[in-house]
Structures are given as C-alpha cells and as structure tokens.
C-alpha cells in the first residue's frame, strides 16, 4: 500500500512550482549545449614549460608520489596524466550513454513506481540531452589527446559499467533500481570534478571540464530532489529494496579497475611490477571503502535529508558497508 503524503514539500527540495516547471525551466539560457561556445581544442604541451598546464589533476593520482616513481621524467608524468584523462573521458562517454541516460529514460517515460510530475519529467529529457552533449565533448577531447600522444583508440570497455549493468539485470524492481544507479552516479560525479579548481590544466581540457561541471551541479541537485520526491511515496517494500541496493551500487561506483593502469604503464615501458604494486595498494578493501565513503558524501547527505536513516535496519546495512559510523 502506498503511504499517504502529508506535504508536497520535502526539506524544501520539491515544491509544487518545481513539479510544474521543473528544476531547469531556464535550461535554454544556461545549459552548456544551448549556450556555450565550443572551446575544447587541445594542442601539444611543452613538457619543460609548467605554464602549459597539466593534462589531468595530479591530486587525483596519489600514486604519482609513490617512491617507486621517484625520478620519473616530467614528460612521462604528463603522459601518465594524459592517459588518465583519456581513460576518464572514455569512461565518462560510456557512463553518460549506457548508465545515466538509461536511468533518465525511465523518469522521462514515467516508468517508476511513483508517478512523476510533468516538470520533473521534462527535466529528465533535458538531462538526457545534456548527457548526450557531454559524451560528444568527452569523446572529442579523448580523441584529440590520444592523437597527440599517438595512443591507439580501441573501443575500450570498463568493468565498472559492465558490473552496474549486470547488477541491474538482477533487480526485482528494475526501473527503481535504474533510478538508484542514476542517483548515485549523478550525486557522486561532482566530487570527481571538485578537485579541478586547484589545478592548472591544459586550456581546452579546463574549458571542457568546467563546462561539464556547470551542468553536473544542476544534475546532482535534480537527482537529490527526485529522490526526496520519491522516498515518502514509496511503499515499505520499495524502500527496503532501495536500502538494500544503494550500498552495493555505491560500492560498485567506486571500485577501481587496476588493469587500466597496468596497460598504460606497459605501453609506456614502465616496469610492470610497479603498476602491479600500485594497483594492489589501491585495490585494498580498506582503500575501496574509504573512497566510497568520501566519494558518496553528497549521496549520503541526500539520504539523511530524507530521514532515510530513521530506520535502524537501514543504518545497520550502511554501517556494515562502512559508509556511515
Ligand atoms: Fe554529464
Ligand atoms: Fe549528469
């Protein structure tokens, strides 16, 4: 049985106005695809000139400070950053198409267990369009940087995406499960980007990531609002489903694929043992749990805002995964 809804406003996230007009009612005037010039051309950098910028955030690759890599020439450091940028962008391209937009389709087509108001379904169509454009930007810059470094593009697959899709195959409530995957992905992604403000990146890369980020802040807010709209309207068994699936989805979203680093180091002629040692270090369960907990901070905050953790059973599940104390 569906619970009775006392108020349409949950923690100020979803008002009747938003239900009618959507979060992105001025999307024509502020989305990247509708308003920004295409300033994403990348050129080779001078490895001896620090002013030409980094290809990726060094702070995101903590393994660069590993003593095993001490003395690595600056040119190779930049190539590692460039290869990580390519990996990140190729992953982003697939994530937008196969994961986020699959999730968004179910909202736009009103396939969730709860009927979604018109404005919020229109928003889903806008997010779908944004993500399609982000995929173009990401694939284009990945291609440019691959050419600059002479790296063959081989239609890479990413185990995280395959694992999320495999998980979705097992969902008893498929459309709600897909919504949860979108909710976790879209609230987690912004933490990836927040590192960029402190780094001087190659201009075309900087412009592209900044533009992408400006949309993603809004997407994160939208998915948070969608969750706060759905949560009080779900039945108890639907809530239990969410509470069971969310921790495993969060964990999947932060699991690393060590083979990507090993392949890059191999192609660069760096001792394969170094990549293996670094991958083992990063792949430790304790490291993985720490990444999930810190990366999902916005997701966890959204859950708290909905009084999700009022149920001690849900607290126990999240505690078991190390996501909360
Ligand atoms: Fe995106
Ligand atoms: Fe997004």
Q: What is the pLDDT of residue 12?
A: 47
d(CA 137, CA 146): 14
For the chain, give every domain's residue range: 71-320
pLDDT at 2: 53
Average pLDDT (193-219) is 86
CA of 324 to the centre of ligand 1 (A): 27
Quote the ligand 1 centre to 266 CA distance (angstroms).
30
Question: 71-320 falls under which CATH superfamily?
Answer: Ribonucleotide Reductase, subunit A (1.10.620.20)
Q: How many Å lie between the centroid of ligand 1 and the Cα of residue 89?
A: 11
Ligand that lies nearest to the alpha carbon of residue 188, given by its number in the listed order: 2
What is residue 288's predicted lDDT score, i.e. its pLDDT?
92
Q: Does residue 192 carry a pLDDT above 80?
A: no
- Summarize the confidence of residues 73-86 as an average pLDDT: 94
Number of helices followed by number of strands (H, E) in the chain = 15, 0
How many angstroms is it from 127 CA to the middle of ligand 2?
A: 7
Distance (Å) from CA 96 to ligand 1 centroid: 6
For residue 201, which phi and psi values (nearest 5 degrees)?
Answer: -95, 160
Output 234 or 259, whichever has higher pLDDT: 234
Please report where in the chains the tokens 């592209």 appear, as a residue.
208
Cα 215 to middle of ligand 2, angstroms? 7
Asked whether the predicted pLDDT for residue 307 surpasses 80, the reply is: yes
* Averaged pLDDT, 273-277: 91
Q: Residue 185: what pLDDT?
A: 96
Cα(136)–Cα(153) distance, integer angstroms: 16
Mean pLDDT of the chain: 91
Q: How far is the CA of 130 from the centre of ligand 1 (A)?
A: 7
From CA 49, how far away is CA 306, in angstroms rounded?
A: 50
Whether the pLDDT of residue 177 is over 90: the answer is yes
- pLDDT of 202 > 60? The answer is yes
Helices (DSSP H) in 194-307: which residue ranges? 203-230, 236-253, 258-268, 272-283, 285-295, 297-305
Q: How far is the CA of 172 from the centre of ligand 1 (A)?
A: 27
The per-residue pLDDT for 4 is: 47
Contact indicator for 250, 296 with CB cutoff of 8 Å: yes
CB atoms within 10 A of CB 304: 13
Of residues 83, 105, 102, 85, the one with CA closest to residue 94: 102
Mean pLDDT value across residues 195-222: 88
**What's the Rg (C-alpha) of the chain?**
21
Position 10 confidence tier, pLDDT thresholds 50, 70, 90: very low
């Amino acid at each position: 049985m569906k619970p009775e809804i006392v108020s349409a406003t949950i923690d100020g996230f979803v008002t009747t106005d938003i239900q009618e007009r959507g979060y992105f009612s001025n999307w024509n005037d502020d989305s990247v695809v509708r308003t920004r010039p295409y300033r994403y051309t990348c050129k080779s950098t001078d490895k001896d000139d620090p002013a030409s910028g980094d290809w990726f955030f060094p702070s995101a690759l903590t393994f660069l400070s590993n003593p095993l890599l001490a003395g690595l020439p600056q040119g190779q450091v930049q190539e590692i950053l460039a290869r990580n940028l390519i990996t990140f962008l190729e992953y982003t391209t697939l994530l937008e198409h196969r994961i986020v937009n699959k999730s968004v389709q179910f909202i736009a087509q009103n396939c969730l267990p709860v009927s979604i108001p018109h404005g919020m379904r229109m928003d889903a169509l806008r997010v779908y369009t944004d993500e399609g454009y982000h995929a173009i930007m990401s694939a284009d810059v990945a291609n440019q940087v691959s050419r600059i470094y002479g790296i063959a593009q081989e239609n890479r697959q990413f185990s995280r995406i395959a694992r999320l899709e495999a998980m979705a195959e097992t969902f008893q409530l498929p459309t709600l499960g897909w919504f949860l995957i979108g909710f976790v992905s879209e609230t987690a992604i912004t933490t990836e980007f927040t590192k960029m403000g402190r780094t001087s990146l190659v201009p075309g890369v900087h412009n592209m990531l900044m533009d992408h980020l400006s949309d993603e802040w809004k997407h994160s807010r939208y998915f948070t609002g969608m969750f706060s709209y759905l949560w009080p309207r779900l039945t108890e068994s639907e809530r239990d489903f969410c509470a069971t699936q969310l921790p495993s989805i969060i964990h999947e979203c932060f699991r690393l694929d060590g083979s990507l680093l090993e392949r890059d180091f191999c192609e660069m002629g760096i001792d394969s043992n170094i990549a293996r040692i670094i991958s083992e270090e990063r792949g430790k369960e304790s490291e993985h749990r720490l990444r999930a907990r810190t990366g999902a901070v916005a997701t966890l905050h959204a859950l708290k805002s909905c009084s999700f953790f009022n149920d001690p059973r849900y607290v126990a599940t999240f505690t078991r995964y190390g996501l909360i104390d």
